[in-house]
Amino acid sequence: MSFQILISDPLSEEGIHPLRQTDNMEITVATGQSEEELLSNIEQYDALLVRSQTQVTKEVIQKGKNLKVIGRAGVGVDNIDLDAATEHGVIVVNAPDGNTNSAAEHTIAMLMSLARKIPQAFYSLKQQKWDRKSYVGVELKGKTLGIVGLGRIGAEVAYRAKGQRLNVVAYDPYLTEERADKMGIQCATLEEVLHQADFITVHTPLLKATKHIINDDAFKQMKPGVQIINCARGGIIDEDALYRAILDGKVAGAALDVFEEEPLQNFHLLELPEVIATPHLGASTVEAQENVAIDVSHDVINILNGGVARNPVNLPSLPAEVMKRIEPYFNLSEKLGTFVAHIAKEAVEEVNIYYSGDLTEHDVTPLTRNTVKGILKRFLGEHVNDVNATYFADKKDITINEQKTSVTKGFTNLLTVEVKTRNGFAKVAGTLLNGLGTRIVKVDTYSVDVVPTGNLVLIRHKDQPGAIGRVGSLLAQFDVNIATMQVGRSDVGGDAIMMLTVDRQIDEDVLVDLKEVTDIYDVTPIDL
């Protein structure tokens, strides 16, 4: 099977080498497309690779009927409609580490250019003026740098700033005093950063909570003469408020790499001599572009070929070691979900998943998603996948409970899936047997030993002599061969089940006749 990949923003040719080297990937590079052009051709692609220019809107995702993965060669995914991607089961991956150094170095370059007015002085000199009075700067040594957002880039900026003998105060809701102490910086509130800093640099993602976090009110709290840097995302700083703060004389300078609207349309801030700027160049180095393109290429190859993503944005990511441990259970969890959805028959209102034995040692979130996928596929079809399974469950008001228990019933690992419908509960349990593969070991209260694959039939009947024989002869009449049969009963003469594995799917006429057999209450064909 070959996959069609569209690269719609300029990516490093060395970086996409892994994609070009993979036999089943066909690559189209078409940069600078308008949204209309993208809408008209996106349907043929399995993967879309972008940087920050391409706007991957809801419409693009809706039209991209074959899209399985969107790869962002960089960190910020604010140009991708993540909700739409999740709803449509498209996995979004990014490259969070590859451009950290470059963005941090660009921030320091901006900080030093700002402090010493290098761009303004250079511009004046280019105009053949020898003006030494207008460009008196300030030293960094002994000043305070305030960092808002101490993630990958914020932390690298902090280390470099300390090399310039700056004192660093940082605000990040996830920053602990302990980590700040280790880094030799001060852990502060946002207000403390605003009050204390001579320079403020922001390094958060653009989120609802960070949009205009630096606004009129924030500027009021800052020291007079403060200088501002934004190499993260336009919109973290309110550009109109910044403009006012510069005109008021509160802000002495600003260095901007990113803007609320890109490409920049309104140049009013750049008309101010206090403002220096670059056109979103934080990650524009040979090294960063190669790193990020390599990282997304590998993830796209993995995902399209059925593997696991290293940097998923709309799926929780787990350490490779944990994924390796739980991967053998992926198939079992989905099959148990599909099985229980068949026997539940009615719409599922609640899913209870119990993990025991070895499984309790790990983060089992991907298994829960897989189980829910198995259940919902039965009702919603093949478009349900790992990415959108819990989204659809949520939309359908299906409650999902995940529980780790010590009840192993003698198995080294046991995965039990119970669903509640308006008719009551249905339950199935399975295990992974060392060296022997997966087994269904319990259906409702009955113990069985069934390989969860192929065409199964669950027959509920009264435990009476001859019941098994009658089923066997009827299936023989229809030329349906029974590969395996398991029986289980509550007590002698009471309720019982037969679990058959048959060589072909049970047709409707076989089903009708089976249901007519004496002492049979119910027949459920199950395709796994």
Ligand X SMILES: O=C(O)CCC(=O)C(=O)O
Nearest distance, CB of residue 85 and ligand NAI, angstroms: 17
Indicate which single residue of 22, 38, 48, 51 sits in contact with ligand X (rule: CB under 6 A): 51
148 binds, among ligand NAI, ligand X, none (CB under 5 to 8 A by kind): ligand NAI
Nearer residue to ligand X within complex by CB, 52 or 390? 52
Indicate which single residue of 12, 54, 99, 311 sits in contact with ligand NAI (rule: CB under 6 A): 99
Indicate which residue of 262, 349, 350, 402 is catalytic: 262
Nearer residue to ligand NAI within complex by CB, 125 or 207? 207
CA distance 332 to 292: 34
Tokens of 37: 């052009």
Indicate which residue of 72, 88, 233, 369 is catalytic: 233
150 binds, among ligand X, ligand NAI, none (CB under 5 to 8 A by kind): ligand NAI
Site pattern 246..285 for ligand X (x: CB under 6 A) = ----------------------------------x-xxx-
Nearer residue to ligand X within complex by CB, 69 or 457? 69
Q: What burial letters (b/e) apply to 346-378, b meaning 16+ CB within 10 Å?
A: eebeebbbbbbbbbbebebebbbbbbbbbbbbb
Number of chain positions touching ligand NAI (CB under 6 A): 33
Nearer residue to ligand NAI within complex by CB, 11 or 414? 11
Evaluate whether 162 touches 168 at the Cβ level (below 8 Å). yes
Position 174 contacts ligand NAI (CB under 6 A): yes
Residue type, 255: A
Task: List the one residue out of 380, 264, 288 whose CA is nearest residue 99.
Answer: 288
Tokens of 275: 């403002």
CA distance 241 to 239: 5
Indicate which residue of 160, 280, 342, 362 is catalytic: 280
Position 280 contacts ligand NAI (CB under 6 A): yes
Segment 69 to 108, residues that bind ligand X, using CB under 6 A: 74-76, 99
Evaluate whether 31 touches 51 at the Cβ level (below 8 Å). no
Residue 265 to residues 82, 241, 270, Cα–Cα distance (Å)? 26, 17, 11
Segment 64 to 93, residues that bind ligand NAI, using CB under 6 A: 74-76
CA distance 94 to 297: 10
**Which residues contact residue 425 at a Cβ distance below 8 angstroms, ignoring those fewer than 6 apart?**
418, 419
Position 130 contacts ligand NAI (CB under 6 A): no
CA distance 351 to 371: 9
Evaluate whether 406 touches 367 at the Cβ level (below 8 Å). no
Strands 47-50 and 3-7: parallel
Strand partners, 520: 461
For the question of residue 165 being annotated catalytic, the response is: no
For the question of residue 262 being annotated catalytic, the response is: yes
Give residue number: closest CB to ligand X: 74
Position 214 contacts ligand NAI (CB under 6 A): no
Evaluate whether 43 touches 67 at the Cβ level (below 8 Å). no
Nearer residue to ligand X within complex by CB, 229 or 323? 229
Nearer residue to ligand X within complex by CB, 167 or 230? 230
Position 154 contacts ligand X (CB under 6 A): no
171 binds, among ligand X, ligand NAI, none (CB under 5 to 8 A by kind): ligand NAI
Strands 482-489 and 495-502: antiparallel
Nearer residue to ligand NAI within complex by CB, 56 or 441? 56
Number of chain positions touching ligand X (CB under 6 A): 10
Q: Would you call the peptide bond into 263 cis, given omega within 30 degrees of 0 as the criterion? A: yes
Q: The tokens 């993995």 sit on which residue?
A: 302
CA distance 356 to 436: 19
Position 282 contacts ligand NAI (CB under 6 A): yes
Evaluate whether 442 touches 414 at the Cβ level (below 8 Å). no
> What are the catalytic residues?
233, 262, 280
Query: Which residues make up the interface to ligand X (CB under 6 A)?
Result: 51-52, 74-76, 99, 280, 282-284
Query: Which residues make up the interface to ligand NAI (CB under 6 A)?
Result: 74-76, 96, 99-100, 103, 148-154, 171-174, 203-207, 209-210, 231-233, 257-258, 280, 282-283
